[in-house]
Structure 1
Amino acid sequence: MSETTAPLRVEDDGHVRLWTLDRPDQRNPVTGADMIEAIEAAVDAANDDAQDGSLRVVVLTGAGSAFSSGGDVKAMRRGDPPFGGPVSGSREGYRRGVQRIPTAMARLDVPVVAAVNGPAVGAGCDLALMCDLRVASTSAFFAESFVQLGIVPGDGGAWLLSRLLGPTRASEMVLTGDRVDAQQALDWGLVNAVAEPDELLEVARALAGRVAKNPPSAVRMAKSLLRDAPEVSLRASLETAAAMQAVAHTTADHREAVDALLERRPGTYTGR
């Protein structure tokens, strides 16, 4: 499948789907209604296509030189909603606007690899943090730059960074708004790998392929356990894992995986 849905381009390559933020002339802002709706629609389509195992991993990148500039600063200057107007209306604008992106990404069943091809700033940085794995170009940097504009992370950035990096480094990024380059991001554990610009998608696809080769239902359940881990007790997580494991033992893919291991051959999985 290959389909263009402005402002998000969607392309399939085997079990991996590529999402490309496709507003390069604007450095791929994500706060507009059209982008928010496109991401929600892409998540819903991915969840539908994951059910039979045909879709197993998503790679997310940006067109042009930037991953995403985050919010539209010109719209902020004009005071366009939700950036201006009555406080109550602005608050509701965030709830009904950009905050729909973390909500959508949180319900995505398959893992997402962010291929961060350039600057990931503000809400664009947060979008990368919403992904499960990240590969950064050497030309990329991450900036939780909200305070430098006199605002706060309005789409979950403080929560995402604290969960990913811990309070000390999250505080440094959120309270200074300073850039973190690709190498520092790797050292901090913000990204899984760094690649030269012309090799970025190849490296991201290779990482996606390492995920996609595994039984897809087990991968989706494992992602669910990881996603919920910071918010539940060990006891609750163990109970969920036991229930998932009982289901996993009944699948044809589990039996195929065991046979393939004992027979020393690659497994062939169908999602059943």
Structure 2
Amino acid sequence: MTDLVLKEQIGPVLKVTLNAPERRNPISDIEMIDALAQAMIDADATPSVRAVILTGAGSAFSSGGDVKKMAPGQGLRDEAPVNTRTNYMRGIQRLPMLFEALEVPVVAAVNGPAIGAGCDLACMCDVRIASEKAVFAESFVKVGLVPGDGGAWLLPRIVGFSKACEMALTGEVLSAAQALACGLVSRVVGPDDLLSEAIDIANMIAGNPRHAVRMTKRLLRKAHGTTLADTLELSAAMQALAHTTPDHEEAVSAFTERRGPSFSD
């Protein structure tokens, strides 16, 4: 059987590819969820991985849920609703919790349609760039469902409450240009340039001190759901740690000596 998730190390960057192109890379199957989760856990635990790129094989980033497996007894849906609830919690809902806990930065290189849970998967990443061929839709209502994977929490924090409501209540498909305009992605590039652009961004991240990058990401994530006072307190604690790292000392020395820094961590 073909690996559902492919991994390729490119220097300090790990490229992770959803690899079910014949089905447009759905992420609702437990096998895909397990494979993606394990790839991200391994990346987070590997010091040589300074950044991750997440993309899809073939023409799609991810079609989200597999509509063909939404009948009772298939996919996440059980004959008993209480079991369906458990299936969601132990299945696809593991992904937003995992991505929220990751310290390694993740860049989504959205190569094609990111639909439903696929759109939400992109939202779980820290940076999103899109091919001109990418489209996005929070389309659960189109099949009579709600965002069951955390999209109701993710999307408003990225595009704002009003735009998130518009996307989720209409199921409207956004072009890459529209996604850029509302802040869903930060860059749109030609299809042939997507991977190189993602690698450039990931390498810029990877070129900075690892501990500072990971703590900065943690601060940004924590700030989503806490007060300014709590964020400042956590910032002070992390800054106290950052001041003691060899990479901080090297950065200061390099600045005063007017040379490029050589980070060790």
In structure 1, what is the equivalent of residue 92 of structure 2?
98
1:34 paired with 2:31, answer yes
Quick one: which amino acid aligns to residue 5 of structure 2? Answer: L
Deviation at 1:158, TM superposition (A): 1.2
Deviation at 1:235, TM superposition (A): 1.1
Deviation at 1:162, TM superposition (A): 0.8
With structure 2 as the length reference, what TM-score do the two structures score?
Answer: 0.97
Aligned mates of 1:155, 1:219 — CA distance in 2: 27
Structure 2 portions without partners, runs of 5+: none
Deviation at 1:266, TM superposition (A): 2.4
CA deviations 1:67-108 (Å, max 9, x no partner) are 000001100146514224111111111111110111111121
1:174 paired with 2:171, answer no
Query: Aligned ranges for residues 153-192 of structure 1 at < 5 Å?
Result: 153-192=147-186
In structure 2, what is the equivalent of residue 15 of structure 1?
12
In structure 1, what is the equivalent of residue 203 of structure 2?
209
Contact 1:81 1:90 in 2 (8 A): no
Aligned mates of 2:133, 2:71 — CA distance in 1: 28
Aligned mates of 1:266, 1:15 — CA distance in 2: 19
Is the partner of 2:39 in helix, strand or coil?
A: helix
In structure 1, what is the equivalent of residue 214 of structure 2?
220
CA deviations 1:213-255 (Å, max 9, x no partner) are 1111000000000001021111111111111001001000001
CA deviations 1:185-222 (Å, max 9, x no partner) are 11111101001111100111111111111111000000
In structure 2, what is the equivalent of residue 241 of structure 1?
235
CA deviations 1:30-68 (Å, max 9, x no partner) are 011111111221122112113xxx211000000000000
Aligned mates of 1:85, 1:238 — CA distance in 2: 48
1:195 paired with 2:189, answer yes
Deviation at 1:5, TM superposition (A): 8.2
Aligned mates of 2:209, 2:88 — CA distance in 1: 38
Aligned mates of 2:51, 2:2 — CA distance in 1: 19
Contact 1:137 1:195 in 2 (8 A): yes
With structure 1 as the length reference, what TM-score do the two structures score?
Answer: 0.94
Identity of counterpart residues, as a percentage? Answer: 53
Aligned mates of 1:188, 1:98 — CA distance in 2: 26
Contact 2:28 2:76 in 1 (8 A): no
In structure 2, what is the equivalent of residue 126 of structure 1?
120
Quick one: which amino acid aligns to residue 38 of structure 1? Answer: A
Counterpart of 1:44 (choices 41, 53, 57) is 41
Structure 1 portions without partners, runs of 5+: none
Aligned mates of 1:12, 1:131 — CA distance in 2: 18
How many residues are aligned here? 265
Contact 1:39 1:104 in 2 (8 A): no
CA deviations 1:134-164 (Å, max 9, x no partner) are 1100000010000000000000011100111
Contact 1:46 1:108 in 2 (8 A): no
Query: Aligned ranges for residues 76-91 of structure 1 at < 5 Å?
Result: 76-77=70-71, 79-91=73-85
In structure 2, what is the equivalent of residue 24 of structure 1?
21
Contact 2:28 2:75 in 1 (8 A): no
In structure 1, what is the equivalent of residue 249 of structure 2?
255
Contact 1:17 1:57 in 2 (8 A): yes
Is the partner of 1:139 in helix, strand or coil?
A: coil
Quick one: which amino acid aligns to residue 30 of structure 1? Answer: I
Quick one: which amino acid aligns to residue 205 of structure 1? Answer: I
Aligned mates of 2:157, 2:207 — CA distance in 1: 28
